[in-house]
A and B are shown apart, each in its own frame.
Chain A
Amino acid sequence: MIKESTQLSFKNVGKSYGRGKTVIEAIDLTIFQGEFVSLIGPSGCGKSTILKLVAGLTPVTDGDLKVDSKSPEKAREAMAFIFQEATLLPWLTVSNNIQVPLRLLQWEKSKREEVANRLIELVGLSAVNDYYPRQLSGGMQMRVSIARALTLSPKILLLDEPFGALDEMTREHLNEELLAIRAQEEWTALFVTHSVPEAVFLSSRIIILSANPGRIYKTIAIDFPYPRKPELRESLEYQQAVADVSHHLRSVER
């Protein structure tokens, strides 16, 4: 793992809404370039809030958060966000959905299509290029969403439970694809999930949060080398790591 430059730095970061409802508190965390960090924890631990803070969708109320050594709002070009729902525009085709970020930057059509075609191929959707989102399965919609997030070659990918609504099989496939894509694109990932096996399979580091208010409870390094193959899931070491993380997660929830 390359651990040279700092990509995200949280210094004593806190967030509260309105009259003192504190969502997260005293988060100290440094994420380096090329890491895949998962946030996991009971509901109410503020893991989605952390993503929103990084994306600059809501301001930090305490402490200091830097993305690429800039404020979150200023670092938006370096980031892409993948939501729990695919969040595709239903009136646009697959190809046009992928082009949305480029259209907002007013790229010319031929360049947009070039990028879209490359990404459609990357996520394996060439056959449904001209389909509308409602004609696609949940897994395919999520692939489109991933392709759209990659259009501007982000340095940091923020993923908010992107596979939470999918069935087990599809989820595992997409986990593998996500890692395969990352091997080519090399972004840093901050990933929110409820699934321990998924977190272990994907991450280089798992951060367990405790709830009310959200704080970092424990950080666990996952040292399996990349590229990770599906067979990893069958290994004893993997099972052990899943059991380990689950154990810690249970002790938070108590």
Chain B
Amino acid sequence: MNNRLYWALPLITGVLMIGIWYAIKWTNDLPHYILPSPDEIIRAGFAEKDVLFKAARETIVGAVIGFLSAGSIGFALALILSSSSWIKASLYPWVLFLQMIPIIVMVPIFVLWLGPGLPSVAIITFMIGFFPIVANTTQGLISTEKNMVDLFTLYNASKLQEIFFLRVPYALPYFLTGLKIAASLAVIGALTGEIFAGSASGSGGLGFMVVVYNSQLKIPELFATAIVACALGFIFVSMVLVLSWYLLRHWHESVAQKDS
């Protein structure tokens, strides 16, 4: 596929989808509180831009705190899990089991414990990103090639050397995969948190605005909020992709394919 087509095709599908959107709206004569048109959404978004901007900032804070703690604590737990087969045998099944808890059920419980506001939002974001990171990183740490481990044994490497000089770099691509999943879930997690735990002070993040707009039947504004949330998620994932490219660019097939 040539380069121009590569850029043109998604634009064409985008235009087509917007056309279908208008067609549905006009043929069924839908009012703006059922299905707003794209232009109504954009106008509503601009009218509310100060509110949305402020809300987005709050959401970012919650998402970043939750995401970073999921990354660091998840990585640390994976290290602990992989360090001994005893610890792994006693904890890992529970990690996998807890992963199955629908996070939405936990949300009211955290709000009950921590009250509304940032701590609840951050911990919900944390919960949603934590398990994919632990599961992926642990997988990487324990699947290090046998011959490489033997090599380290032959050179009388200490346990710490084996972990930090061999297992951790080996697991890095796995960790980054977990991080990518967590990044795509971070904004969703923060929004979910805010819908339940939105506001401790009368203002809140995007999730809180969802509740407010919904109660006021401001449907175009609701759609605009969704678009802002999309953009935030996109930024989060992009940042992890850049980090991942930077760390793996020399050696990992997933990102290094083109330069050899």
Contact = CB atoms under 8 A, between A and B. Distances in A.
A89 to B, nearest CB: 7
Contact of B147 (A83, A90, A135): A83
A133 B253 CA distance: 12
Interface residues of chain A: helix, strand, loop or mixed (majority) = mixed
Contacts of A91: 169, 172, 250-251
B249 to A, nearest CB: 10
A87 B154 contact: no
Contact of B161 (A81, A104, A134): A104
B154 A134 contact: no
Contacts of B155: 76, 100-101, 104-105
A81 B154 CA distance: 8
A199 interface: no
A87 B253 CA distance: 16
Contact of A57 (B148, B153, B172, B250): B153
A80 interface: yes
Contact of B253 (A77, A80, A104, A134): A134
Contacts of B161: 104
A85 interface: yes
Interface string A78-112: 01110101010111000000001101110000000
Given A79-B154, A80-B154, A81-B154, A87 B251 contact: no
A134 to B, nearest CB: 6
A104 B156 contact: yes
Contacts of B253: 134
Interface string B83-123: 00000000000000000000000000000000000000000
B44 to A, nearest CB: 49
10 contacts: A55-B154, A76-B156, A83-B151, A90-B251, A100-B165, A104-B152, A104-B165, A105-B155, A132-B250, A134-B251
Given A56-B154, A83-B151, A91-B250, 19 more contacts: A55-B150, A55-B154, A57-B153, A57-B154, A76-B154, A81-B154, A85-B147, A87-B145, A87-B147, A87-B151, A89-B166, A90-B252, A91-B169, A100-B151, A104-B161, A104-B165, A132-B250, A134-B260, A135-B260
Interface of A: 55-57, 76-77, 79-81, 83, 85, 87, 89-91, 100-101, 103-105, 132-135
